Amino acid sequence: MTSLIYRRQLTIEWGHCDPAGIVFNPRFFEMFDVNSWKLFETALGVKQESLASTFGIIGIALVDASANFMKPAKFGDAIEIASRIKEFHRSSFEVEHFISIDGDLAVEGGETRIWAVHDKNDPDKIATAAIPAEVIAKFG
């Protein structure tokens, strides 16, 4: 588990919600995605649009996502999303996400992402590459 945690606060807006005024569950996956990219931007000091040119990758592609919903988030709620890398593997990594409302855990989620590159044999396909040690080190 890495020590770097990326946190951000936001207020739930009507566009996040279903007609009942609670967050439409797929919107949490959008929030997870934003936090994953911001976590990498913070750790590496490189904006999302510059990852490819800096590290020779396509990006950090999502291959699996999950969530546990314990408490509904409603229109007007102030939430905090905290994300960190749970574990690095050779070419993939696990991201943990925790969303809290007034200090109470409301949603916990997870993503598996890969260090994605163009396939050497077919540049139209995606392949994985080993995550550089210097990248992993930046997450503490």
pLDDT in tens, 105-132: 999 999 999 999 999 999 899 999 999 9
pTM of the complete model: 0.93
Q: What is the pLDDT of residue 82?
A: 98
| Helix segments in the chain, DSSP class H | 26-44, 51-55, 133-137
pLDDT band at residue 52 using 50, 70 and 90 as cut-offs: confident
Q: Distance between CA atoms of 131 and 134, rounded to whole angstroms?
A: 9
Give me the domains of the chain, ranges plus CATH numbers: 6-137 (3.10.129.10)
Q: How confident is the model at residue 138 (pLDDT cuts 50, 70, 90)?
A: very high
Q: What is the mean pLDDT of residues 46-61?
A: 92
Residue 2 has pLDDT above 90, yes or no: no
What is the per-residue pLDDT across 55-95, written as a single tens digit (0 to 9) for each? 999 999 999 999 999 999 999 999 999 999 999 999 999 99
pLDDT tens sequence across 23-34: 999 999 999 999
β-bridge pairing 126-128 and 78-88: unpaired
